[in-house]
Structure 1
Amino acid sequence: MTPPSGDGGTAGAVSDERIPRKLIGAIFAVGSLAFFGILTETVMTVLFPELMRELNVGTATVQWITTIYLLSVAVTMPISSYLKRRFPLKAIFVAAVVLAVVGCVIMIFGHSFPVLIVARIIQGVGSGVATPLMINIILEQSPRTKIGRLMGVGSLVITVAPAIGPTVGGAISSVLPWRAIFVLILPVMVVSLIVGLLCIEQKTPTQFAQLNPLQFLAIVLGLAGLIMALNQAGVAISEAVNGAPFAQSAGIAGASLAIGVLSLLFFGYSSRRSFSPLIRLGILRDPVVLLHLLAYAILPVVGIGFGYVITNLAQLSLGTSAFLAGALVLPGALIGAFFAPVGGVLYDRFGPTRPILSAFAVAIIGPVLLLVFSMRLTPATLAGFYFIFGLSYALGYSNIMTSALSAIPAQFTPDGNAIFNTMLQFGGAAGTTLFSTILTIAQAGAGGEGTPAFAHATAVGGAWTFAAMILICLAAFVALAFAFRIRARRR
């Protein structure tokens, strides 16, 4: 029985294809590795105050703990297509495990800021290898009638890990030293290694592929430049609204943006003329794939940015503790973890159109309610309205990439996987930068933290943030609706 064809209609009777046990083990091994890699991305943000005191660094410096990690992930993911073609899956997996373990060990024993930065670079490369590897295994080895639900399982890693990071970080750091987080991760890495070596199978042969050094350098400079531009633009705006000198940050942001854009233009130009490009970008000529990619890139601005917004609003506007602020994200994240595979089941049964559009039509209700009640929020309503978004987001998000990649030939799936996962990283980085900048602008001139004026200003910034979230969700919904309309016309 063929899988859903993308028409949004019923796929017909679902065959009784069974999911091989070794495939389940492989997804668990690579998925747990990717999960804990992504988890540390947001865990560290809760630890910034403690790290600032221990390492004697300021806010602008300590944020590099997260920024350098995002840079490392972003510049590694584009080469996942090359790695998949060139090396056996087990070799790629073992390399990712080694990088994760080395990074954890350095974080445990490192006692200076530069050493921790090196550790985060190593961890970022490991996570940048593991996440696309998990998706490639699912897309290549899943039974056709089960691909939606298994992609839903993969979505747990991508969406839930960053969402629960603040809760995990706050809970562990309240009772243990912050380094205990990485001590606890190490046994999971060992278990993942054993299971992966036993279960990961090579279903397709490797092939000759060359790593063009100029293309690799261009993609590194391009992605690093854009993320640096986002980061420094946020810093410059924050400095400007607080009356501090901002010329240096603005200059760095402008230069980084220019380098990033020019490098990516060169990469695209070079790829079109290369016999063995790093990423085969031809799939983006299809407007259906391109519109899916647009939605997949901008939705994490809201999905991942929500973790930052809720924890900061709860503490700075509602006066909750750091632990309670992190816990407010947990119900939506956990229910999302449970329902992400359900979204995949709906995809397998009904095709992509109705499950995806229905999920995001409901998801928009969350930020709409938050905007309406923005000046009268309580911790309970903040968590409850996020719950609506988190549930619906989990039901639909992973299906976007599944739907897009179903429209391209199988040999180009690793390239599509690399592009989509790279854009996911940009969305997450942009969300935190955008929303932190909005809150900073709203808080400017409102007095010191803890005063009623500051709390009110933060609530106003929250309202602006929720309005921005609504616009982003609407843009993604429209892009997906147009993609499905084009697909329907083709038939």
Structure 2
Amino acid sequence: MIGAFIGLFSETALNMAFTNIMEEFNIDAHVVQWLTTGYLLVLGILVPVSGLLLQWFTTRQLFIASLTFSILGTLIGAFAPNFEFVLLSRLVQAVGTALLLPLMTNVILLIFPPNKRGTVMGTMGLVIMCAPAVGPTLAGLLVDSWGWQSIFWVFLPILLFTLIFGLIFMQNVSTITKPKIDVLSIILSTIGFGGIVYGFSSAGEGAGSWGDITVLLPIIIGAIGIILFAIRQFRMEQPMLDLTVFKFPMFSVGVLMVFLCMMIILSSAILLPMYLKGGLLMTALAAGLVLLPGGFINGFMSPITGRLFDKFGPKYLVTPGFILTTVMTFLFTKVTTETSSVTVIVMHTILFIGVAMIMMPSQTNGLNQLPKRYYPDGSAIMNTLSQIAGAIGTAVAVSIMAAGQNGYLAAAASTDQNAMAEAMTAGVQNAFLFAFVASIIGLMVSFFVKRVKV
């Protein structure tokens, strides 16, 4: 969990240094965005393969490999003489995170009985939600005080401690079955998931419109790759990723709710900083501080919702959770340039209380229905679709926001600061309709949730 915290912390922390990196290496915004796109791309390619890796290598081997990649990537970033080395550091770090996230989920499923998993998954939720929430605020302070390289230097001692601690105490808990490696499945998985993530990320960066060949072609190729990958898995005696896990209804419902919840989380995570900085004209640090309470309360709520899940099951958590997210995303479609920062803090905090009630209970209930032999496949599928949801949610939200912003500016025929702020706010209002629709779909799906008897 410590290793995962650093991996997820770094995912958002470096975003605060983009402008500094652009100035230092004299690069454009669409180039620096590769630090995010490349990171997501590696996760999208490697996480689906993790189900196979979990059955080929021991817990200790994967843990040590993961931390080694994270440390190596951090060192490359700390000493990076040019942008290419910064990008390389991100890609190497992403390998570490891609190995660690499914490993963490799999270890929890193996070492904790079903009646205690809610509490433990809630603690995992604290890690997963707090890291991206704290990242921008702490990174803003580091970048202002000591420069962008200081972000890497802060990670390094924690990662080294985690590796040493793991070498001493980590035990092997997984069963090594060494299934046959199907090279064609790995190629199709890489093309499929990589293409989808790359295509949507390109649209989200503004590198191309939805009709642009650089956006459409990767998405189409990716979709074909995923279809061919799925067909091959169903025809194999020993599939690389066993898709028969979807025959368990609560797992399928859980995956869908996690997918929709990730869309809400990551679309709001990119829209709110834009609104706070572009619409309310706040500094980066002030915007980070406004979003901090929501992240902290979400982390604080995750263990509580985990314990409530163990006691009462998912039904009394996920449906009220989606009600909260539906109401709050709707209210975010009504924000203006006059909305107070206190109002934003309250709305964001309630939104993330709803998220805490949805995320881990949905994931835990879904994975609980799977027999032990399906744990590696279940955790790999859940983590893969979370990454794809993030890419899709971010891309669609940014596209809707940009269209609304441009439409407002065209009608206003003005480009002064007030008009730009109003345009940004109008774009954000439109984009939150997407999160609102995702939340309504999640609310309808939540009515089909039943507690898994284990």
TM-score normalized with structure 1 length:
0.87
Candidates 381, 384, 391, aligned match of 2:346: 384
Gaps of 5+ in 1: 1-30, 241-245
Candidates 302, 326, 332, aligned match of 2:288: 326
Report the counterpart of residue 441 of structure 2 in structure 1: 475
Question: Is the alpha carbon distance of 1:213 and 1:195 closer, same or farther for their aligned partners in structure 2, counting shifts above 3 Å?
Answer: same
Report the counterpart of residue 259 of structure 1 in structure 2: 221
Letter in 2 for 1:216: I
8 Å CA contact 1:155–1:340 kept in 2: the answer is: yes
- Alpha-carbon distance between aligned partners in 2 of 1:328 and 1:96, rounded to the nearest angstrom: 33
- Alpha-carbon distance between aligned partners in 1 of 2:262 and 2:29, rounded to the nearest angstrom: 24
Report the counterpart of residue 38 of structure 1 in structure 2: 8
Q: Deviations over 1:229-287 (max 9, x none)?
A: 11233456x766xxxxx97xx11212101210111111111111223221100111334
Q: Deviations over 1:94-142 (max 9, x none)?
A: 0001000000010011122222222111111110001111111111101
The offset of 1:222, in angstroms, is 0.7
The offset of 1:450, in angstroms, is 6.0
- Alpha-carbon distance between aligned partners in 2 of 1:232 and 1:84, rounded to the nearest angstrom: 31
8 Å CA contact 1:80–1:418 kept in 2: the answer is: yes
CA-atom RMSD in angstroms: 2.1
Report the counterpart of residue 151 of structure 2 in structure 1: 181
Q: Residues 24-423 of structure 1: matches in 2 within 5 Å?
A: 31-234=1-204, 250-374=212-336, 376-423=338-385
8 Å CA contact 1:296–1:401 kept in 2: the answer is: yes
Gaps of 5+ in 2: none
Report the counterpart of residue 389 of structure 2 in structure 1: 427
- Alpha-carbon distance between aligned partners in 2 of 1:374 and 1:481, rounded to the nearest angstrom: 33
Letter in 2 for 1:323: L
The offset of 1:375, in angstroms, is 5.5
Question: Is the alpha carbon distance of 1:136 and 1:37 closer, same or farther for their aligned partners in structure 2, counting shifts above 3 Å?
Answer: same
8 Å CA contact 1:316–1:450 kept in 2: the answer is: no
8 Å CA contact 1:366–1:387 kept in 2: the answer is: no
The answer to which of 442-451 and 457-466 deviates more is 442-451
The offset of 1:305, in angstroms, is 2.3
- Alpha-carbon distance between aligned partners in 2 of 1:235 and 1:199, rounded to the nearest angstrom: 42
8 Å CA contact 1:316–1:449 kept in 2: the answer is: no
Question: Is the alpha carbon distance of 1:277 and 1:448 closer, same or farther for their aligned partners in structure 2, counting shifts above 3 Å?
Answer: farther
- Alpha-carbon distance between aligned partners in 2 of 1:476 and 1:176, rounded to the nearest angstrom: 43
Percent identical pairs in the alignment equals 27
- Alpha-carbon distance between aligned partners in 2 of 1:263 and 1:332, rounded to the nearest angstrom: 38
The offset of 1:164, in angstroms, is 2.8
Question: Is the alpha carbon distance of 1:251 and 1:146 closer, same or farther for their aligned partners in structure 2, counting shifts above 3 Å?
Answer: same
Report the counterpart of residue 421 of structure 2 in structure 1: 455
Q: Deviations over 1:284-334 (max 9, x none)?
A: 133432222122112111112222211111111111111101111100000
TM-score normalized with structure 2 length:
0.94
Letter in 2 for 1:359: G
Q: 2:175 aligns to what SS in structure 1?
A: coil
- Alpha-carbon distance between aligned partners in 1 of 2:9 and 2:217, rounded to the nearest angstrom: 31
Q: Deviations over 1:65-100 (max 9, x none)?
A: 100000111211112211221111001000001000
8 Å CA contact 1:44–1:169 kept in 2: the answer is: yes
Q: 1:444 aligns to what SS in structure 2?
A: helix
Letter in 2 for 1:80: S
- Alpha-carbon distance between aligned partners in 2 of 1:61 and 1:186, rounded to the nearest angstrom: 26
- Alpha-carbon distance between aligned partners in 2 of 1:466 and 1:428, rounded to the nearest angstrom: 15
Q: Deviations over 1:181-231 (max 9, x none)?
A: 111111111111122223322234322222211111111111110011112
The answer to which of 324-333 and 473-482 deviates more is 473-482
- Alpha-carbon distance between aligned partners in 2 of 1:139 and 1:399, rounded to the nearest angstrom: 14
Report the counterpart of residue 25 of structure 1 in structure 2: none
